[in-house]
């Protein structure tokens, strides 16, 4: 049967040569573990389990990396979208520190995988969070003190305006916090490399194989339109795609749309003049801008979150205007690619990991910090499925609430709530 896929019109897709599609699931299979979702989290879980000797089937509804893992800003940042203070309040200081350390392990895991599996994903180290106003400058200073004093994290350096402007050709930022242990990469190349490594380790990958139903029990049966998998354990790693097969998970996350544009190539000299050290950059507004250079000397610029989940008219034009607020000198530069995707946020912006049954696990709610967290989450989940659940169970203690208003009204309620945060961005 011929498979028909519609790829996202992103610069990422345009700059890779995908392998031929893996076949769709056909007939009935048995496995020790079935992983649902071919993003970084699913590929990581599958790879770790295969390396432990498990028979693993990986089902992807579209193509590997079709979701957020292959569309994101590609920034590799340790930590969580939720403030550490919130994690301390729920888990205590010791376990909140362990969660932070897990993300540092996630950065090291990426280094190891990229080297060991020879994943050519344009990896560059260095990332900066930037302040637009004095209040945010103080937030960055407080963040640096907390990381150094409470977590022993010494990789950051605070910069005042003059030093920031020495690295970025813009007057928009009054301060920055540079992290030499963070960075950026080509996210689609990275997830494709992980999928290939998983297949070499013995994972059976099926693309175009969307799960339509799950029958729970001591042995779980997952059904697609063309086959089924019976597995002793299941890992659901579907970002915002759990709704049809696990509605109880869908109530805990909201798909928030974000958009990225890629300029035409600027040439090496002009691109270097814009970001002199090739770092990734993000401001710290609630509705934030994030940007970096590409390997072929474009500027990739993202932001403009849509809590309605609808792609408004003129996405490329509006995102370009945000870019020009930062780099007005690029007014003559055309946009060649524009695309969007959904970020799976939770109410408290903390990750939502757990079990629906003793043999039915899930990962979701990465809330914009997925590039690093998804990989280490797969390692921790694989260990839990192998009987070593101590680290996984710390995450399960984080309390999560449904978005208010039910499935019909929760998005309008969120839009109203977010208006307050957008107004806060405008305050001095």
Residue 249 has pLDDT above 50, yes or no: yes
Q: Which of these, 192, 203, 193, lies nearest to 33 by C-alpha position?
A: 203
pLDDT band at 6 (very low <50, low <70, confident <90, very high): confident
pLDDT of residue 170: 98
- What CA–CA distance (Å, rounded) separates 23 from 346? 34
Segment 269-280 shows an average pLDDT of: 98
* pLDDT for residue 306: 59
pLDDT at residue 336 above 60? yes
- Model confidence band, residue 417 (pLDDT cutoffs 50, 70, 90): very low
For the chain, percent of residues with pLDDT exceeding 90: 78
The whole-angstrom separation of Cα 221 and Cα 370 is 28
Direct distance between the N- and C-terminal alpha carbons of the chain, in angstroms, rounded to an integer:
59
- Which of 20-24, 35-39, 340-344 comes out lowest in average pLDDT? 340-344
Contacts of 417 (CB under 8 A, 6+ apart): none
pLDDT of residue 303: 85
Question: Token pair 């930062």 is at which residue?
Answer: 326
364, 344 contact by CB (below 8 A): yes
d(CA 244, CA 256): 18
pLDDT (0 to 100) of residue 253: 86
d(CA 75, CA 282): 9
8 A C-beta contact, residue 86 and residue 161: no
- Does pLDDT of 420 surpass 70? no
In order of their start, the domains of the chain are 8-123+185-252+347-397 (3.50.50.60), 129-180+255-343 (3.30.9.10)
- pLDDT of res. 421: 44
Q: Looking at 109-123, 176-190, 230-244, 359-373, which range is the least confident one?
A: 230-244
What is the torsion angle, in degrees rounded to the nearest 10, for the CA atoms of residue 209, residue 212, residue 215 and residue 221?
-10
- Predicted confidence (pLDDT) at residue 16 exceeds the cutoff of 70: yes
What sign has the CA pseudo-torsion 245, 20, 295, 325?
A: negative
Cα(59)–Cα(174) distance, rounded to whole angstroms? Answer: 47
Strands (E), 51-155: 56-59, 75-76, 124-131
Among candidates 342, 352, 343, 344, which has minimal Cα distance to 401?
352
Which pLDDT band holds residue 315 (cuts at 50, 70, 90)? confident
**CA 97/CA 88 separation, integer angstroms:** 8
Q: Which residue has the tokens 């001591």?
A: 218
CA distance 223 to 3: 18
CB 270: neighbour CB atoms within 10 A? 15
Say yes or no to pLDDT of 247 above 60: yes
Least confident of 80-94, 126-140, 289-303: 80-94
Examine the pLDDT at 405 and tell me if it is beyond 60.
Answer: no
Q: Which residue has the higher pLDDT, 347 or 208?
A: 208
Q: Is the dihedral of CA 38, 87, 79, 175 positive or negative?
A: positive
Q: What is the mean pLDDT of the chain?
A: 91
Tokens of 132: 């637009």
Buried b (16+ CB within 10 A) or exposed e, 135-145: ebbebbeebbe
H helices within 268-369, ranges in order? 268-274, 315-326
What number of other Cβ atoms are within 10 A of residue 366's Cβ? Answer: 31
CB count, 10 Å around CB of 93?
12
Contact 364, 223 (CB under 8 A): no
Nearby residues of 186 by Cβ (< 8 Å), 6 or more positions away: 12, 15, 16, 74, 121, 122, 294, 295
- Class of residue 240 by CB neighbours under 10 A (exposed 0-12, middle 13-18, buried 19+): buried
- Give the count of beta carbons closer than 10 Å to the beta carbon of residue 268: 11
Nearest by Cα to 81 from 258, 314, 275: 258
* Residue-wise burial string across 273-307, b where 16 or more C-beta atoms lie within 10 A, e elsewhere: ebbeebbbbbbbbebbbbbbbbeebbbbbbbbbbb
Measured CA to CA, the distance from residue 149 to residue 9 in angstroms comes to 44
Q: Which pair of structure tokens corresponds to residue 329?
A: 């000198």
Q: What is the pLDDT of residue 410?
A: 46
């Amino acid at each position: 049967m011929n498979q028909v896929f519609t790829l996202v019109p992103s610069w990422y897709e345009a700059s890779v040569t995908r392998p031929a599609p893996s076949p769709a699931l056909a007939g009935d299979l048995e496995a020790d573990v079935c992983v649902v979702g071919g993003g970084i989290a699913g590929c990581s879980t599958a790879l770790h389990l295969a390396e432990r000797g498990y028979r693993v089937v990986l089902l992807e509804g579209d193509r590997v990396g079709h979701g957020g893992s292959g569309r994101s800003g590609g920034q590799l940042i340790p930590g969580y979208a939720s403030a550490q203070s919130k994690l301390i309040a729920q888990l205590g200081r010791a376990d909140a520190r362990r969660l932070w350390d897990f993300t540092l392990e996630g950065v090291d895991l990426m280094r190891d995988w990229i080297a060991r599996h020879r994943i050519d994903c344009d990896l560059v180290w260095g990332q900066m969070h930037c302040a637009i106003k004095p209040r945010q400058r103080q937030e960055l200073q407080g963040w640096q003190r907390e990381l150094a004093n409470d977590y022993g994290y010494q990789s950051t350096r605070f910069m005042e305006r003059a030093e920031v402007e020495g690295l970025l050709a813009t007057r928009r930022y009054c301060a920055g916090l540079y992290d030499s242990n963070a960075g950026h990469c080509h996210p689609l190349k990275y997830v494709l490399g992980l999928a290939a490594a998983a297949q070499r380790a013995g994972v059976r990958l099926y693309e175009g194989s969307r799960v339509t139903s799950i029958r729970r029990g001591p042995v779980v049966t997952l059904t697609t339109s063309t086959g089924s998998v019976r597995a002793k354990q299941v890992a659901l790693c579907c970002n915002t795609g759990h709704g049809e097969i696990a509605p109880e998970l869908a109530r805990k996350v909201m798909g928030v749309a974000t958009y990225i544009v890629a300029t035409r190539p600027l040439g090496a000299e002009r691109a270097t003049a814009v970001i002199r050290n090739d770092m990734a950059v993000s401001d710290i507004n609630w509705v934030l801008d994030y940007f970096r250079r590409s390997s072929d000397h474009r500027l990739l610029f993202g932001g403009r979150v849509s809590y309605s989940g609808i792609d408004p008219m003129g996405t490329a034009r509006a995102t370009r205007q945000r870019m020009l607020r930062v780099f007005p000198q690029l007014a003559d530069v055309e946009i060649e690619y524009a695309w969007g995707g959904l970020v799976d946020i939770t109410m408290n912006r903390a990750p939502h990991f757990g079990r629906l049954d003793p043999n039915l696990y899930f990962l979701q709610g990465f809330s914009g910090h997925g590039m690093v967290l998804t990989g280490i989450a797969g390692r921790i989940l694989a260990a839990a499925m192998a009987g070593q659940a101590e680290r996984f169970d710390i995450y399960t203690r984080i309390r999560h609430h449904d978005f208010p208003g039910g499935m019909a009204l929760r998005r309008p309620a969120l839009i109203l709530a977010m208006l307050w945060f957008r107004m806060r961005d405008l305050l001095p």
